[in-house]
């Protein structure tokens, strides 16, 4: 994969934290600037040509997103601020009529805080209950337990496609099938899947799918919510304001059609344009090639890391992609992070916004590396060298 030249920032750093956010290729950065220089206008309102041009470009990205995740209709693609907002939107809107007092929401033990807290917020408000789908020591969903968690009260399943800590690719197609057998809709947190795998929401048959532009080489500030038409029609609007209305009077307001009903206010137009360019960029490389490249890096890094005594990897599923979380003896991840940073290597250290998962594995924190299209074997070599320095500082100290 010969893409490093597209990422000027990588000249300065060994970047192993794409799970937090990916770096941006020059084409994305340039496109945002070009939009402001040549095409900037507000959308869906101007009668003048410039506004129509901006609107057309913006709506074209909706088409691109639709094709990228293989949705059936572009009105099922809603632009949000990110995965977090997408999930909050669904949770809030479903709490008006679908999820009620004493109902149950199933989430897994490996969820990111942004797929836990939005559900807790509504559960607290309406008196619903959250039940946790357990995971195995390898870091896989316990499918049998999942099956048994369903009751007549189960109204929602919210589960991550790929774990941001363990790297596990969950069997969500199977989980969605099981949930649908029980007449329960499923929201999939795809934040860590879309940048690494070809995603097909139609084949998965999920009811909602959420992801963030900034983790897939696009700009920050933009996310996507895919929702099935039937659900989006049933749900009340999320926020009120411009763009989401059809007709407003002080007596009554009627809402705009999909997807605009869920897009109140002026969206992050330039960054949506940037996301479109990121999608083009990913398509050019090919999602299949990306998956293969990152799988190769995962295999090499896993092998190299396992050679280090007292290094323990969390998440050893066969179905895993480019994330490795580990602990190293009793050395705290924060200390590892500082020493690696000193060697110019960026890794994540801490609880990875998944405190319940840390508890599940009985550790306060982990160190995580995560790969992107631009990572190389050389990055892994440097990481291993960096970890040797960690060892030196903490063990075989030269005094």
Partner 1 sequence: MNELRELYQEMIIEHGRHPRNFCVLENASCKQEGFNPLCGDHLILFLIEKNGVIENISFQGSGCAISMASASLMTDAVKNKSIKEAEKLFQQFHLLITENKSEENLGKLAVLAGVSEFPARVKCATLAWHTLKAALQNETQTVSTE
Ligand X SMILES: Cc1ncc(COP(=O)(O)O)c(C=O)c1O
Residues with catalytic roles: 353
Which of partner 1, ligand X, none sits in contact with 213, Cβ below 5 to 8 A by type? none
Give 177 or 385: the residue with its C-beta nearer to partner 1: 385
Which of ligand X, partner 1, none sits in contact with 14, Cβ below 5 to 8 A by type? none
114 binds ligand X, rule: CB under 6 A:
yes
191 binds ligand X, rule: CB under 6 A:
yes
Query: Min. distance of Cβ 218 from partner 1 in angstroms?
Result: 26
> Which of 274, 273, 283, 281 is closest to 57 using CA atoms?
273
Total site size for ligand X, rule CB under 6 A: 14
Give 254 or 399: the residue with its C-beta nearer to partner 1: 399
Backbone angles phi, psi at 91, to 5 degrees: -60, -50
Query: Min. distance of Cβ 15 from partner 1 in angstroms?
Result: 17
* Selected range binding ligand X among 93-101, 110-118, 140-148, 306-314, rule: CB under 6 A: 110-118
Beta bridge partners of residue 362, listed in sequence order: none
Which of partner 1, ligand X, none sits in contact with 114, Cβ below 5 to 8 A by type? ligand X
Query: Min. distance of Cβ 152 from ligand X in angstroms?
Result: 29
Q: Which of 212, 256, 325, 375 binds ligand X (CB under 6 A)?
A: 212
- DSSP codes, 99-150: S-TT-EEEEETT--GGGTHHHHHHHHHHT-EEEEE-B-TTS-B-HHHHHHH-
Element (H, E) at 29: helix 26-34
Residue 179's contacts (CB-CB under 8 Å, 6 or more residues apart) are 150, 157, 185, 186
Give 95 or 115: the residue with its C-beta nearer to ligand X: 115
Identify the three-state secondary structure at position 53. Answer: helix
Q: Distance (Å, rounded) from C-alpha 312 to C-alpha 322?
A: 17
Query: Min. distance of Cβ 246 from ligand X in angstroms?
Result: 29
Cα 74 to Cα 2, 59, 84, 258, 274: the distances in Å are: 32, 9, 21, 9, 18
* Selected range binding ligand X among 8-16, 79-87, 240-248, 295-303, rule: CB under 6 A: 79-87
Q: Distance (Å, rounded) from C-alpha 131 to C-alpha 101?
A: 14
- DSSP codes, 342-390: HTTEE-EEE-TT-HHHHHHTT-S-EEEEE--TT--HHHHHHHHHHHHHH
**Degrees to nearest 5, angle at CA 381 with 375 and 382:** 85
Give 184 or 349: the residue with its C-beta nearer to partner 1: 349
Q: Which of 18, 22, 64, 84 binds ligand X (CB under 6 A)?
A: 84
Give 290 or 353: the residue with its C-beta nearer to ligand X: 353
* Helix, strand, coil % over all residues of the chain, rounded to 5: 45, 20, 40
Which of partner 1, ligand X, none sits in contact with 364, Cβ below 5 to 8 A by type? partner 1
83 binds ligand X, rule: CB under 6 A:
yes
Q: Which residues of this protein are in contact with partner 1, per CB under 8 A?
A: 330-335, 338-339, 341-342, 349-351, 355, 358, 364-365, 389, 393-394, 397, 399
* Selected range binding ligand X among 8-16, 76-84, 227-235, 300-308, rule: CB under 6 A: 76-84
Which of partner 1, ligand X, none sits in contact with 338, Cβ below 5 to 8 A by type? partner 1
Element (H, E) at 225: strand 223-227
> Which of 246, 248, 279 is closest to 260 using CA atoms?
246
Query: Min. distance of Cβ 346 from ligand X in angstroms?
Result: 15
Which of partner 1, ligand X, none sits in contact with 394, Cβ below 5 to 8 A by type? partner 1
Q: Which of 76, 189, 207, 379 binds ligand X (CB under 6 A)?
A: 189
Beta bridge partners of residue 324, listed in sequence order: 369
Which of partner 1, ligand X, none sits in contact with 192, Cβ below 5 to 8 A by type? ligand X
Q: Write out the two tokens for 359.
A: 């508890």
List of residues contacting ligand X (CB under 6 A): 82-84, 112, 114-115, 160, 164, 189, 191-192, 212, 214, 353
């Amino acid at each position: 994969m010969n893409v490093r030249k597209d990422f000027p920032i990588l000249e300065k750093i060994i970047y192993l934290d794409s799970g937090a956010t990916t770096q941006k290729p020059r084409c994305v950065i340039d496109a945002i600037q070009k939009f402001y220089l040549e095409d900037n206008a507000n959308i869906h309102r101007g009668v003048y040509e410039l506004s129509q041009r901006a609107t057309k470009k913006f709506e074209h990205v909706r088409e691109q997103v639709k094709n990228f995740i293989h949705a059936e209709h572009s009105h099922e693609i809603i632009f949000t601020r990110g995965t977090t907002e997408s999930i909050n939107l669904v949770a809030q809107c479903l709490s008006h009529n679908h999820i009620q007092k004493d109902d149950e929401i199933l989430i897994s033990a490996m969820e990111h805080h942004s797929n836990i807290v939005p559900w807790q917020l509504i559960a607290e408000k309406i008196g619903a209950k959250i039940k946790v789908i357990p995971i195995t020591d390898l870091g896989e969903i316990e499918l049998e337990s999942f099956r048994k968690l369903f009751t007549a009260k189960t109204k929602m399943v919210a589960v991550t496609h790929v774990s941001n800590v363990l790297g596990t690719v969950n069997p969500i197609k199977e989980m969605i099938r099981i949930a649908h057998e029980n007449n329960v809709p499923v929201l999939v947190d795809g934040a860590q899947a879309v940048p690494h795998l070809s995603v097909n929401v139609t084949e998965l048959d999920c009811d909602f799918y959420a992801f963030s532009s900034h983790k897939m080489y696009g700009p920050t500030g933009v996310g996507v919510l895919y929702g099935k038409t039937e659900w989006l029609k049933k749900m009340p609007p999320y926020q009120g304001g411009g763009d989401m209305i059809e007709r407003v009077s002080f007596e009554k307001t009627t809402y705009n059609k999909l997807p605009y009903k869920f897009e109140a206010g002026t969206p992050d137009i330039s960054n949506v344009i940037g996301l479109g360019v990121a999608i083009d960029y990913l398509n050019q490389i090919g999602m299949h090639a990306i998956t293969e490249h990152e799988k190769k890096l995962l295999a090499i890094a896993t092998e190299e890391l396992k050679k280090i005594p007292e290094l323990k990897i969390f998440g050893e599923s066969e179905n895993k992609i480019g994330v490795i979380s580990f602990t190293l003896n009793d050395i705290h991840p924060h200390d590892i992070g500082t020493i690696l940073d000193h060697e110019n290597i960026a890794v994540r250290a801490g609880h990875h916004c998944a405190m319940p998962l840390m508890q599940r594995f009985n550790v306060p924190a982990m160190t995580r590396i995560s790969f992107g299209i631009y990572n190389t074997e050389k990055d892994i070599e440097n990481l291993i060298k960096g970890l040797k320095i960690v060892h030196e500082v903490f063990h075989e100290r030269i005094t």
